[in-house]
Amino acid sequence: MSDKPLLQADGIAKRFGTVVALRSANLQVEPGEIHALLGANGAGKSTLVKALSGVHRPDAGSIRVNGELFDVRNPRIAAEAGLATVFQDPALIPDLTVEENLRLTNLPSEVVHDWLERMDLADVDFEAQIRDLPLPTLRLLDLARALARDPSLLMLDEITAALTADQAEHVFAVMEDRKSRGKSVLFITHRLGEVLRMCDRATVLRDGQDVEVCVPGEVGEAGLVQAMLGEVAKATPDESSALASLDEAPVALETIELRSGDEVRGVSFSLRAGEVLGVAALEDQGQDRLFELLSGDRRADAGEIILADGEALDARSPYDAVRKGVVLVPSDRLHALLPKRPIRENLTTPLYNKITKWFSLAGDEKQRVDSAIDRLSIDTRAGKQAGRLSGGNQQKVVVGRWLASGFRVLLCFDPTRGIDVGTKQQIYHLLRELADGGAAVLLYTSELAEIPLVCDRVLVLYDGEIVDEQPAVNATEQALLTAAHGISEEVA
């Protein structure tokens, strides 16, 4: 390592309105280093990256690149300093084509194309509109665009969260490649396995300041978690109470040969009260559509959804599903949150979805709100605007609105995407608890390793069909992955 760090950020502070996002964060990245930036949700990781990218101008602190002081007040200066960033949300204009987006940044499309080729994405149509491309492709496009600048520091904000395993491997290869050329990478992720495997050092943020700089290989996963949470983290969630008696439990929701376009092709399964039923699938195997059908967001072409009392759920809008107690926690929190409204109003919106409830407020509104906040231990400090809460707390609010209004079947679509370890455990713990209380939970998660921890049974969806079903206890990541790839293989 040279005597001067590649990047030295000192005392970076940033607040938004009354909320302090970064108190005083320090970060040093050496040349030729893959450096992890870790922290629970709301610790300030993204804010720090945005400060280093010229998106947010810090209120205090200094940024030095190769010892030279930079006032990174806009993205152009960050680029001049050799910093390039792939943000959490794609930084591409949806209505323009790939080519047009590249032209905006003044980058030669050949270079970008070379990089895409190296990531197995050579077939991306440069004339396609961004809005028509899947999210993983957009992340990799953003990455290729950042790489085309040949930055001395590449900052990746949770890039792997939306990627499939093989796509993530490409990203890791790129990171190794940067390192071998003496360039550096700042890597943000919630997946500690990736940190242990890829990163030379890690800086841990907590409550807007850096609390530890360590070598991940030395402290191990437990050490990282402890630094992030500031207390000894609970081990795994409760062992799933794999109930033998579930077979006798009443069916809460049953689908018969459900079909919708090419996405869902004859799906039949039954979900029992008291059960957490997992759905495992690779990207785009029809799980999105399946959840849309179940939540009343879209009507099926054929097939039936039957509820507990033998009644068919033929929902024309989410209202019909919600009224019958079938409720959705969508993958994207932005689809379920009222960011400008207080937590309380977020939690109580479903209470007023009938015209007869329009004329007053629910008399027990406060109790419902308090008990949901309490049960989920939602951090209400930034409660005047839900949008100011950290990602994990926002997700709790989204789950909480159904706790406050009541439901029978909870559909959870990847509820823990991009959420820190502690909150993740709380959410799984809660799902388990709800099921034990008699609710039925259908859970799709992209993190296969977590299925045995929370589910009773798991369905594997492949190309719009259920190809496998097994008790969750046996559902190792390996077994699920094999099934999810549509490979029929007897699990020995």
Minimum Å distance from CB 384 to another protein?
8
Closer residue to another protein in complex, CB, 336/484:
336
Can you give the chain as a three-state secondary structure string?
A: CCCCCCEEEEEEEEEECCEEEEEEEEEEECCCCEEEEEECCCCCHHHHHHHHHCCCCCCEEEEEECCEEECCCCHHHHHHCCEEEECCCCCCCCCCEHHHHHHHHCCCHHHHHHHHHHCCCCCCCCCCEHHHCCHHHHHHHHHHHHHCCCCCEEEEECHHHHCCHHHHHHHHHHHHHHHHCCCEEEEECCCHHHHHHHCCEEEEEECCEEEEEECHHHHHHHHHHHHHHCCCCCCCCCCCCCCHHHHHCCEEEEEEEEEECCCEEEEEEEEECCCEEEEECCCCCCHHHHHHHHCCCCCCCEEEEEECCCCECCCCCHHHHHHCCEEEECCCHHHCCCCCCCHHHHHHHHHHCCHHHCCCCCCCHHHHHHHHHHHHCCCCCCCCCHHHCCHHHHHHHHHHHHHHHCCCEEEEECCCCCCCHHHHHHHHHHHHHHHHCCCEEEEECCCHHHHHHHCCEEEEEECCEEEEEEEHHHCCHHHHHHHHCCCCCCCC
Minimum Å distance from CB 468 to another protein?
30
Minimum Å distance from CB 67 to another protein?
23
Closer residue to another protein in complex, CB, 18/241:
18
- Footprint of another protein on this chain (CB under 8 A)? 11, 13, 15-18, 20, 23-24, 56, 59-60, 209, 211, 295, 297, 317-319, 321-323, 327-328, 330, 334-341, 345, 348-353, 355, 357-362, 401
Given the structure tokens 């990799």, which residue do they identify?
Answer: 140
Minimum Å distance from CB 359 to another protein?
6
H-assigned helices in 81-164: 98-105, 109-118, 135-147
Minimum Å distance from CB 381 to another protein?
13
Closer residue to another protein in complex, CB, 244/359:
359
Separation of alpha carbons 13 and 22, rounded Å: 5
Minimum Å distance from CB 216 to another protein?
19
Ordered DSSP codes for 282-295 = -TTSSHHHHHHHHT
Minimum Å distance from CB 16 to another protein?
6
Closer residue to another protein in complex, CB, 118/384:
384
Minimum Å distance from CB 297 to another protein?
7
Minimum Å distance from CB 464 to another protein?
23
Closer residue to another protein in complex, CB, 227/467:
227
Closer residue to another protein in complex, CB, 171/327:
327
Closer residue to another protein in complex, CB, 60/128:
60
Minimum Å distance from CB 349 to another protein?
4
Angle (nearest 5°) at CA 376 between 371 and 377 = 95
Minimum Å distance from CB 110 to another protein?
37
